[in-house]
Amino acid sequence: MTIFIIRRLLQSVLVLCFMSLLVFVGVYAIGNPVDILINPQADQADIERAIAALGLDKPLAEQYLIFLKQALAGDLGKSFAYNIPAIQLILERMPATLELALAATGMAVLLGIPLGLWAGLAPDSWAGKLIMTGSILGFSLPTFWVGLMLIMLFAVELGWLPSSGRGPTTELLGVALSFLSWEGIRHLILPATNLALFKLSLIIRLTRAGTREALLQDYVKFARAKGLSNARVVGVHVLKNIMIPIVTVIGLEFGSVIAFAIVTESIFAWPGMGKLIIDSINVLDRPVIVAYLLVIVSLFILINLAVDIVYSLLDPRVRISEAKG
């Protein structure tokens, strides 16, 4: 297990290096932030001086080597547009995004698995059919449209919930969290629902399909024949066996929620990392783009690792070994 984790981490370092190189080449090919941010009155000399002050006049290879050297010392550079360390910029936005992602994923899991089970156990009941129809809507309606509808209905028309933004934050162990106050939760409800909808539908459908399949398996029939209670058959024999695909999807979706919650964050003006990366790409703020992607790739690596470990806990046949890498 330890060797497995170490190997994984070593591979990750390679991935991170490659990714930073890609971003460097990509941003270099597009241009530099001075062309976008310099004031209109600046003359040619001012422009050249600003480019040189940011070190953007150097050849690409040299810029990358300087970055690598500083990165090894733990310094990912200062944001061009914010003039503060890029990593600090990302970390200060991270609680907002994690909070939103956790709330959305939590909603999706807590509602999705029971609903999916229900739909799987009673596929022909009206409730089962309703759940499945609802999940089709959750799949097919575009996120931004649903977000706008939620705002129009609950904020503009009914005035129950705030239209956008994050509520007041409270410091907990040095992390600014908003869900500890009622006002904060009120701000969180709409964006989290918006973000959860797609994942909820996904989990419902996965759970239902898995349940239907598992119910036909011999071991379920055997368990029933043995006279086990329905609750034990469903809760242990069915549920545990269908969890592997569901855990995989939850893991992947959690990662993608963190990295790509941009649509929801934009519509609800949620001050998370997704908004930051779009702003940074717009002004070619390379240190932030690089640092952001490094953070996101690291997160994905960690989530995948966690998923693999959960597999082995769920299914004793799965063994994490060195050979599997």
Give contact residues for other proteins (rule: CB under 8 A). 30-47, 49-50, 53-54, 78-84, 89, 92-93, 142-145, 147-148, 151-152, 155-157, 159, 162-166, 263, 266-269, 271, 275-276, 279, 281-284
E strand or H helix at 176, and its extent? strand 175-177
Is 204 in a helix, a strand, or coil? helix
| Short-list 122, 150, 137, CA closest to 211 | 122
**Shortest Cβ 147–other proteins spacing (Å):** 8
Question: 255 or 272: whose CB is closer to other proteins?
Answer: 272
CA–CA distance, 220 with 324 (Å, rounded to integer) = 31
Q: φ, ψ for residue 176 (rounded to 5)? A: -85, 115
For residues 99 and 92, the answer to whether their CB atoms sit within 8 Å is no
Instruction: Identify which of residues 143 and 241 has a Cβ nearer to other proteins in the complex.
Output: 143
Q: What's the closest the beta carbon of residue 295 comes to other proteins, in angstroms? A: 16
Report whether 212 contacts 238 (CB < 8 A). Answer: no
Instruction: Please identify, using beta-carbon distances, which residue of 2 and 44 lies nearer to other proteins.
Output: 44
CB of 68 to other proteins, least distance (A): 20
63 vs 164 by CB, closer to other proteins = 164
For residue 94, CA distances in Å to 89, 187, 245 come to 9, 17, 28
In the numeric block, which tokens belong to residue 89?
């910029």
CB of 264 to other proteins, least distance (A): 10
Residue 61 tokens read as 């290879």
98 and 274 Cβ atoms separated by less than 8 Å: no
Nearer to other proteins, 117 or 151 (CB): 151
Whose Cβ is closer to other proteins: residue 195's or residue 214's? 195
Least distance in Å: CB of 249 to other proteins? 23
Backbone angle region of 74, left / alpha / beta, with phi > 0 → left and psi within -120 to 50 → alpha = left
Distance (Å, rounded) from C-alpha 222 to C-alpha 217? 9
Query: CA-to-CA distance for 274 and 79, rounded, in angstroms?
Result: 16
Distances (CA, A) of 235 to 32, 73, 116, 123, 246: 57, 50, 13, 18, 15
Q: Looking at beta carbons only, is 16 or 28 nearer to other proteins?
A: 28
Residue number with CB closer to other proteins (288 or 294) = 288
Parallel, antiparallel, or unpaired: how do β-strands 170-172 and 175-177 relate? antiparallel
Instruction: For the CB of residue 141, give the shortest distance to other proteins in the complex, in Å.
Output: 12
